[in-house]
Amino acid sequence: MKNKLFFKIFFGYLFLLFSIFVIFLFLSLRYFRNVYINDIKEILKNDAYLINETLKDYLKYKNFNELDKFIKEIAKKLNIRITVIDEGGNVISDSEKDPKLMENHLNRPEIQIALKEGTGIYVRYSSTVREDMIYFARIFEMQNKKYFIRTSYFLKSFKKNFTDIRNNILIFALVIFLISIAIIYFYSRSLYLPIKKLKEATKKVADGDFDTKVILHKEDEFKELADNFNLMTQELKQFFSEKIEKQKHLNTIISSIDDGIIAIDSKGKIVFVNNGFNKIFEIQGLDNRYYWEFLISPDLIKVIEDVISKKSNFQGAIEIKNRFYFCNATYLDQYEQAIIILHDISRIKEVEKVKKDLVANVSHELKTPLTAIAGFAETALETTKEKETKKYLEIIINNSKRLINIINDLLLLSNIENNSQNIQFSEVDLSKLFNNIKKLFEKRLKEKNLKFILNLDENNKKIQADLYMMEQVFINLIDNAIKYTEKGEIRINTYMKDKNKILIEVSDTGIGIPQEHIPRIFERFYVVDKSRSRESGGTGLGLSIVKHIINIHKGEILVDSKIGTGTKFIIILPVKNNN
């Protein structure tokens, strides 16, 4: 219904008006009825007092026949009923009936009230005339005798007169009601028309038409509302124009990025995809499709499934169509979407491979001649007797061994990197592992008088890992701890971080690491104290090897160190590995 709002307003006011009129009529009629009855009671009372003195003259001489004539005449003139009753309740005279035929009236309610209070008013049914009546009774004395004068009025006459009054009131009220309906109609229309215009305008704005205007000429609150509405639509139009322009600009920028960008909702439907992503998969028209309809990369599909199902993030390299991409996947809780960015690192991977191959090949080629140089130098050192020659030979031997150590570490690191996908996981007993490693360092621990304390969690001493690689990790960490600790202890503690991870601490009481060096200690060839490293034969590759092995095992390594207090390496490893 198009004018549904108008009818709501109109019938709402009409119902309110009708309710007011009903209440008004009810209260008015009740009020006029009470007033009319009170007037009748007052008239009866006055009439009783008026004829009371005349009655005394008839009663004084006991002229009851004349009294009866008088009563009938005066009652007819006054249009009331008059009754005279003695103190015994006997009717002496009555304007309507023969007193001799009337029953005793002493027990009538109005007579009983008059006995107690002097006067009595009561409304009841008259068994004598068989009609409802209003009675007024007054007691008076005459020659030491008590009499009652009673005046009464027929309710039938009251009802007829009151009906006329009521009809007049109803006619007047109906006229007023009809006039009020007309006023309400025009008032409702004056309210409805501006609301209708505003309603239609808001519908157009909701549909995107921000040029909509509401023009009202009457100076009232609706015109002020319409002016505010017009101002609001103007500002909304400007706001959305700026927003759309910014969105277009942003989309242009994102589309022009070479990196592949895709947004996927929690149900797997593609929300946004840029040109860079389309180029990677050589396909167009991916909007509003599901990612599994076209993706052929198992690595990327697994990343998307994990990120959406676990609402987690992911960073790492994946392979797509024989090319490598760095994938950064983030789940946005507020939008329930996963954002995946693919950056092509194939060229970097190629360079890294070339570099690794070069390092491995060069290291392998250098190892043989360096071993030969060190061997011949040691032989020459044993055979020569000249002190000066021995001095240079010792320098040659020490540097050859240092180079050999570097090459061994490089080969080890290269081997770990090249075989990171083929490592052999088995059950590793940490207690046995650390006790075997301790035997390797017993001589050095004894030389420095250092304590080696092993404190393992009794509830879980076993993990799934590559035994050889774990040995390399803790050999490097304990070797560094002994190397940079002059007194105190080397301590290994293990704790269960949760039911799936174990925390291993390797701590010492050595010289510590300056805070500014901690972020770089896992870089290749990075050493904190170069002079001390040269003296101790350090290669700067040990912590790089440790970091790489921990990453392969999907673990994490942290460092806590204070100068002069010591260093603590904290390793967090999964108890079971799913590789």
What pLDDT does residue 203 have?
Answer: 77
What pLDDT does residue 1 have?
Answer: 42
What average pLDDT score do residues 442-459 get?
A: 87
Rg (CA), the chain: 58
**pLDDT of 496-507, one tens digit each?**
877 788 888 999
SS3 540: coil
What pLDDT does residue 430 have?
Answer: 87
**Residue 502 near residue 464 (C-beta atoms within 8 A):** no
> pLDDT grade, residue 414 (50/70/90)?
low
CATH of 257-344, one of 3.40.630.30, 3.30.450.20, 3.30.470.20, 3.30.420.40: 3.30.450.20
What average pLDDT score do residues 46-69 get?
A: 74
Better pLDDT: 44 or 571: 571
579 has pLDDT over 60: no
What pLDDT does residue 357 have?
Answer: 65
What pLDDT does residue 217 have?
Answer: 66
Residue type, 125: Y
Closest CA to 546 of 413, 402, 394, 452: 413
What average pLDDT score do residues 122-130 get?
A: 72
Residue type, 184: I
Most confident range (mean pLDDT) of 1-10, 172-181, 466-475 is 466-475
371 has pLDDT over 70: yes
Name the CATH topology of 4-161.
Answer: Beta-Lactamase (3.30.450)
> pLDDT grade, residue 38 (50/70/90)?
confident
532 has pLDDT over 60: no
Structure tokens at 368: 């043989």
Better pLDDT: 562 or 373: 562
200 has pLDDT over 50: yes
Question: How buried is 134 (Cβ within 10 angstroms: 0-12 exposed, 13-18 middle, 19+ buried)?
Answer: buried
What pLDDT does residue 184 have?
Answer: 74
What pLDDT does residue 104 have?
Answer: 87
Structure tokens at 49: 């007092």
Give the mean pLDDT of the chain: 78
103 has pLDDT over 60: yes
What pLDDT does residue 394 have?
Answer: 74
Q: What CATH number does the domain located at 425-574 have? A: 3.30.565.10
> pLDDT grade, residue 115 (50/70/90)?
confident
Closest CA to 540 of 459, 483, 465, 458: 483
**Residue 226 near residue 209 (C-beta atoms within 8 A):** no
Least confident of 154-168, 449-463, 481-495: 154-168
Least confident of 121-125, 290-294, 339-343, 377-381: 377-381
SS3 209: coil
> pLDDT grade, residue 322 (50/70/90)?
confident
* Dist. CA 275–CA 283, nearest whole Å: 10
What pLDDT does residue 538 have?
Answer: 55
Most confident range (mean pLDDT) of 245-259, 312-326, 519-533 is 312-326
* Dist. CA 338–CA 351, nearest whole Å: 31
Structure tokens at 523: 């870089």
455 has pLDDT over 60: yes
> pLDDT grade, residue 61 (50/70/90)?
low
Across 337-440, the runs of DSSP E, i.e. the strands, are 337-344, 426-429
Closest CA to 549 of 431, 452, 459, 417: 417
> pLDDT grade, residue 540 (50/70/90)?
low
Model's pTM, two decimal places? 0.44
What average pLDDT score do residues 208-221 get?
A: 73
Percentage of residues in the chain having pLDDT higher than 70:
82
> pLDDT grade, residue 528 (50/70/90)?
low
* Dist. CA 470–CA 463, nearest whole Å: 11
366 has pLDDT over 70: no
Q: Say how many residues make up the chain.
A: 579
119-126, strands of its sheet edge to edge: 91-94, 81-86, 145-154, 131-142, 119-126
What pLDDT does residue 48 have?
Answer: 73
What pLDDT does residue 359 have?
Answer: 61
What average pLDDT score do residues 211-220 get?
A: 72
Burial profile 230-246: b = 16 or more Cβ within 10 angstroms, e = fewer: eeebeeebeeeeeeeee
Closest CA to 492 of 460, 456, 520, 516: 456
What pLDDT does residue 384 have?
Answer: 75
**pLDDT of 279-292, one tens digit each?**
888 777 777 788 88
What average pLDDT score do residues 405-424 get?
A: 64
